[in-house]
């Protein structure tokens, strides 16, 4: 088989040409090389980067159990029906033990299989301390360069992931669902402020009213007249009601209700995302978000390189002696770190 | 008030003496300085480090809704009844918007208030990309030096936090609960391998049998005779049943059932933790775990310092021009990062 013969032997140049020509096999291989940080990953990304910047990047985050994967699948189908192509990066909670992404490409988003206008890639969070953001950004760049109109990045929103998704996406959806526990509710509050659009999925479930009330209370959309608006990437508290909803300078975070499993509310959600994209471009906010995305990318690249240098500068045997001295409390890690750093 | 007068003016030396003398106010201040990375944080930690290394550090992690806080509270009460003192570090999902730890010291663990043998500290995950691990380790060092017999670190186990807790703790508890959704189940699998002890809390809830079966399937404790044992920090697959349960070289990960709210199973859980501590010391595994902890601490300190240097080496104006050039696709972030790094 030709496919087997050329596997791995394909040159970086061929791979770049393949990605730009929307060759799915080339795309899959390029992503793998980028994800595994293979030798030519930087060369690949450098070649693809000038062709990126056209896709609109949609981040989808939320607590476990809110039905994010189903929502992303329905959203992708809606975009396909509107004639657009969609790349999906699904970031999975991973088992270091099984080694792979747990939910996997196959289990999730089965409904999208066989559609050449959709490309789904699951990524593992494994061993990615601080590196997940870089790898995610890199994979998005590859999909963007491959010409997908929309790239959706899905991640479980607990901990740092939600902050990272906001610095990767143009439009961030925070997904909620009725009837989750109190701790989940608390976590939600932590991710509300990164939302451009709030989605209450599984809106046919009991407890919808309570969830809506809680969200509205948090957003203070109603009540004392105060509300929060996004303005140049900042969430601002507006003490009095905003004069006009037509005001271009602000974006109103609204709550959308969906039942992704049955397709309810998906079309409206897609239109709201597109409205956000239009607002980003007309208000000048898009340029600001792009600047933030690029600054973030730069920082991630530098961080990854410095991590590599730290690892390279630490001979395992020398470190062992140091660690043992600290363990015996003959030294302390702060003095030892200062010594190591002076050598870097 | 004397307290008001000396606030902030207290010297590092006084603070160190206060922490070593178990002065709660000094302890609270020292932790705040360490957490906020104030000017004398490193001096404080350097002075306290030689006095650390006596506490047994217990990590408690699990998905949202498993009742970790209640379990930690019950466990602390059990330790107190056994005559031991307990420090608790509770890492909260945080709202960057509200700025503080959401669940807070006051809401959680109210039952422990007024007991001078317990010290609870909530920490926010805010803006702690990669830095949470260092700060957590530093706060544990302060509590350890203050003389607490046991230090419990509680964190929501989704994403990276669970890996970090395993590198901070001597004994790691992974908490499950019946009746959580499928996605939560999947996340669970990702944290099983760091467990020294598995806890199914809320064991009076419907779905207990299903949860236990799922856990046993994952652990393969029963069935084909294979099972997993911890050996020198690695999870090893044992194809045939281990000959003797008395074998000192291995630790058997078992599932403990608790109802933390009613106190059921807590005493047994505490005894299992103590059995793990004994095993760690008798098997020689404790020295290995301490080495891992120290190596991890060293890396965290170095990473934090390099991050500080990156930030210091980037003049905001110069970066703006670079970012704008990349946004216009006149440059790319990989080339720009290489240029910046050569200047560091």
Identify whether residues A323 and A201 lie together within a single domain. Answer: no
A185 and B CB contact within 8 Å: no
User: Residue A194: what pLDDT?
Assistant: 78
Grade residue A73 by pLDDT with cuts at 50, 70 and 90.
very high
Grade residue B130 by pLDDT with cuts at 50, 70 and 90.
very low
Q: Which chain B residue has its CA at the smallest distance from A186's CA? A: B102
Grade residue A192 by pLDDT with cuts at 50, 70 and 90.
low
Query: If you average pLDDT over residues A298-327, what whole number do you get?
Result: 78
Identify whether residues A240 and A321 lie together within a single domain. Answer: no
Report the distance separating Cα B33 and Cα B42, nearest Å. Answer: 10
Does residue A225 belong to any structural domain of this protein? Answer: yes
Mean pLDDT score across all residues of chain B: 78
Identify whether residues A56 and A172 lie together within a single domain. Answer: yes
* pLDDT tens sequence across A17-48: 999 998 999 999 999 999 888 889 999 999 99
Identify whether residues A78 and A199 lie together within a single domain. Answer: yes
User: Residue B186: what pLDDT?
Assistant: 43
HSE (side-chain half, CA atoms, 13 Å) at A339: 12
Query: Cβ contact (<8 Å) for B42 and A334?
Result: yes
Answer yes or no: is pLDDT of B56 > 90: yes
Residue A99 sits in a domain of what CATH number?
3.40.50.300
B248 and A CB contact within 8 Å: no
User: Residue B177: what pLDDT?
Assistant: 87
- Count Cβ atoms within 10 A of the Cβ of residue B317 and give its class: 0-12 exposed, 13-18 middle, 19 or more buried: exposed
Grade residue B321 by pLDDT with cuts at 50, 70 and 90.
confident
Answer yes or no: is pLDDT of A186 > 50: no
CA B165 distance to own-chain centroid: 4
The CA–CA distances, whole Å, from A77 to A71, A115, A234, B190, B213 equal: 10, 10, 32, 30, 36
Query: If you average pLDDT over residues A172-194, what whole number do you get?
Result: 66
Answer yes or no: is pLDDT of A268 > 60: yes
Does residue A94 belong to any structural domain of this protein? Answer: yes
Answer yes or no: is pLDDT of B181 > 70: no
Which residues 279-298 of B have a C-beta within 8 angstroms of A?
A: 287, 290-291, 294-295, 297-298
Does residue A121 belong to any structural domain of this protein? Answer: yes
The CA–CA distances, whole Å, from A10 to A5, A47, B44 equal: 10, 15, 55
Answer yes or no: is pLDDT of B244 > 70: no
Our CA-based measurement puts residue A2 at a distance from the nearest CA of chain B, in whole angstroms, of 33
Query: If you average pLDDT over residues A74-87, what whole number do you get?
Result: 97
Least confident piece of the model among A164-168, A210-214, B34-38: A164-168
Task: Tell whether the torsion through CA atoms of B254, B255, B260 and B264 is positive or negative.
Answer: negative
A211 and B CB contact within 8 Å: no
CA Rg value for chain A: 22
Nearest by Cα to B128 from A75, A190, A274? A190
Q: Are strands A234-238 and A227-231 parallel, antiparallel or unpaired?
A: antiparallel
Query: If you average pLDDT over residues A234-250, what whole number do you get?
Result: 51
The CA–CA distances, whole Å, from B272 to B117, B230, B277 equal: 22, 15, 9
Does residue B105 belong to any structural domain of this protein? Answer: yes
Grade residue B242 by pLDDT with cuts at 50, 70 and 90.
very low
pTM of the model as a whole: 0.66
Identify whether residues A106 and A254 lie together within a single domain. Answer: yes
Answer yes or no: is pLDDT of B182 > 60: no
Least confident piece of the model among A316-320, B60-64, B78-82: A316-320
| Bigger pLDDT: A120 vs B339 | A120
Grade residue B96 by pLDDT with cuts at 50, 70 and 90.
very low
Does residue A37 belong to any structural domain of this protein? Answer: no
Does residue B46 belong to any structural domain of this protein? Answer: no
Chain A partners within 8 Å of B48 (Cβ): none
Quote the number of domains for chain A.
Answer: 2
Nearest by Cα to A156 from B93, B200, B177, B166? B93
Chain B partners within 8 Å of A341 (Cβ): 302, 305-306
DSSP 8-state secondary structure symbol assigned to residue B49: G
User: Residue B95: what pLDDT?
Assistant: 39
Report the distance separating Cα B48 and Cα B141, nearest Å. Answer: 7
Identify whether residues A327 and A193 lie together within a single domain. Answer: no
Report the distance separating Cα B261 and Cα B204, nearest Å. Answer: 10
Strands (E), chain A: 56-62, 86-92, 118-124, 150-156, 171-176, 197-200, 227-231, 234-238, 251-252, 255-257
User: Residue A240: what pLDDT?
Assistant: 44
Identify whether residues A244 and A328 lie together within a single domain. Answer: no
Report the distance separating Cα B116 and Cα B139, nearest Å. Answer: 18
Our CA-based measurement puts residue A59 at a distance from the nearest CA of chain B, in whole angstroms, of 17
Cβ–Cβ < 8 Å for B88, B154: yes
User: Residue B183: what pLDDT?
Assistant: 44
User: Residue B43: what pLDDT?
Assistant: 94
Nearest by Cα to A36 from A142, A113, A109? A142
Identify whether residues B120 and B28 lie together within a single domain. Answer: no
* pLDDT tens sequence across B154-170: 987 655 555 567 778 99
DSSP 8-state secondary structure symbol assigned to residue A93: P
User: Residue B98: what pLDDT?
Assistant: 36
User: Residue A96: what pLDDT?
Assistant: 38
Quote the crossing angle between the two packed helices A285-313 and A161-168, to the nearest 10°: 130
Cβ–Cβ < 8 Å for A42, A30: no
Q: How many residues does chain A have?
A: 344
Nearest by Cα to B198 from B187, B188, B186? B188
Query: If you average pLDDT over residues A82-105, what whole number do you get?
Result: 65
Question: Which of the given ranges, A267-271, B39-43, B94-98, has the highest pLDDT on average?
Answer: A267-271
Grade residue A301 by pLDDT with cuts at 50, 70 and 90.
confident
Report the distance separating Cα B73 and Cα B90, nearest Å. Answer: 11
Query: Cβ contact (<8 Å) for A159 and B163?
Result: no
User: Residue A248: what pLDDT?
Assistant: 56
Read off the tokens for A334. 């702060």
Grade residue A190 by pLDDT with cuts at 50, 70 and 90.
low
Question: Which of the given ranges, A240-249, B62-71, B196-205, has the highest pLDDT on average?
Answer: B196-205
Report the distance separating Cα B45 and Cα A109, nearest Å. Answer: 49
* pLDDT tens sequence across A278-299: 999 999 899 888 988 898 888 8
Read off the tokens for B116. 């001078």
Identify whether residues B239 and B122 lie together within a single domain. Answer: yes
Query: Cβ contact (<8 Å) for A187 and B287?
Result: no
Least confident piece of the model among A6-15, B127-136, B143-152: B127-136
Range of the domain at A150: 52-284
Which residues, including other chains, have CB under 8 Å from residue A79's CB and lie 6 or more apart?
Answer: A85, A86, A149, A150, A270
User: Residue A183: what pLDDT?
Assistant: 44
Q: Are strands A251-252 and B118-124 parallel, antiparallel or unpaired?
A: unpaired
Identify whether residues A326 and A247 lie together within a single domain. Answer: no
Other Cβ atoms less than 10 A from the Cβ of B94: the count is 24
Grade residue A244 by pLDDT with cuts at 50, 70 and 90.
very low
Grade residue A6 by pLDDT with cuts at 50, 70 and 90.
very low
Report the distance separating Cα B286 and Cα B282, nearest Å. Answer: 8
User: Residue A344: what pLDDT?
Assistant: 59
Identify whether residues A207 and A324 lie together within a single domain. Answer: no
Does residue B47 belong to any structural domain of this protein? Answer: no
Which residues, including other chains, have CB under 8 Å from residue B153's CB and lie 6 or more apart?
Answer: B57, B58, B59, B60, B88, B89, B91, B136, B140, B165, B168, B169
Does residue B116 belong to any structural domain of this protein? Answer: yes
Identify whether residues B320 and B175 lie together within a single domain. Answer: no
Answer yes or no: is pLDDT of B231 > 80: no
Report the distance separating Cα A57 and Cα A173, nearest Å. Answer: 11
| Bigger pLDDT: B10 vs A140 | A140
State the DSSP string of A8-63. Answer: TT--HHHHHHHHHTT-HHHHHHHHHHHHTT-TTHHHHHHHHGGG-S-SEEEEEEE-
Q: Which chain B residue has its CA at the smallest distance from A161's CA? A: B159
Answer yes or no: is pLDDT of A92 > 60: yes
Query: If you average pLDDT over residues B296-321, what whole number do you get?
Result: 76
B313 and A CB contact within 8 Å: no
């Amino acid at each position: 088989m030709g496919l087997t013969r050329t596997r791995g032997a394909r040159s970086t140049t061929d791979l770049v040409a393949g990605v730009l020509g929307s060759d799915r096999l080339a795309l899959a291989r390029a992503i793998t090389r980028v994800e595994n940080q293979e030798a030519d990953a930087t060369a690949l990304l450098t070649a693809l980067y000038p062709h990126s910047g056209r896709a609109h990047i949609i981040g989808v985050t939320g607590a476990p159990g809110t039905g994010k994967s189903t929502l992303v699948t329905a959203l992708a189908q809606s975009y396909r029906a509107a004639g657009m192509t969609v790349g999906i990066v699904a970031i999975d909670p991973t088992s270091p033990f099984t080694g792979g992404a747990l939910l996997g490409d196959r289990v999730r988003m089965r409904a999208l299989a066989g559609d050449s206008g959709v490309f789904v890639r699951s990524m593992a969070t494994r061993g990615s301390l601080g590196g997940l953001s870089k790898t995610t950004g890199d994979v998005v760049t590859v999909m963007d360069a491959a010409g997908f109109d929309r790239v959706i990045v899905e991640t479980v929103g607990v901990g740092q992931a939600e902050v990272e998704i906001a610095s990767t996406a143009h439009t961030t959806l925070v997904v909620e669902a009725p009837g989750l526990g109190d701790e989940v509710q608390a976590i939600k509050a932590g991710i509300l402020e990164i939302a451009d659009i709030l989605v209450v999925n599984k809106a046919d479930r009991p407890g919808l009213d309570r969830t809506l009330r809680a969200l509205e209370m948090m957003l203070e959309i109603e009540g004392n007249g105060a509300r929060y608006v996004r303005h140049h990437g900042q969430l601002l508290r507006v003490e009095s009601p905003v004069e006009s909803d037509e005001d271009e300078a602000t974006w109103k975070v609204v709550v959308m209700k969906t039942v992704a499993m049955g397709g309810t509310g998906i079309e409206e959600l897609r239109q709201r995302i597109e409205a956000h994209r239009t607002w980003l471009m007309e208000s000048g906010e898009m340029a600001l978000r792009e600047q933030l995305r690029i600054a973030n990318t730069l920082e991630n690249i530098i961080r990854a390189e410095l991590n590599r240098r730290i690892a390279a500068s630490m001979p395992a045997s020398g470190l062992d002696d140091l660690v043992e001295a600290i363990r015996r409390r003959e030294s302390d890690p702060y003095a030892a770190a200062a010594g190591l750093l002076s050598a870097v």
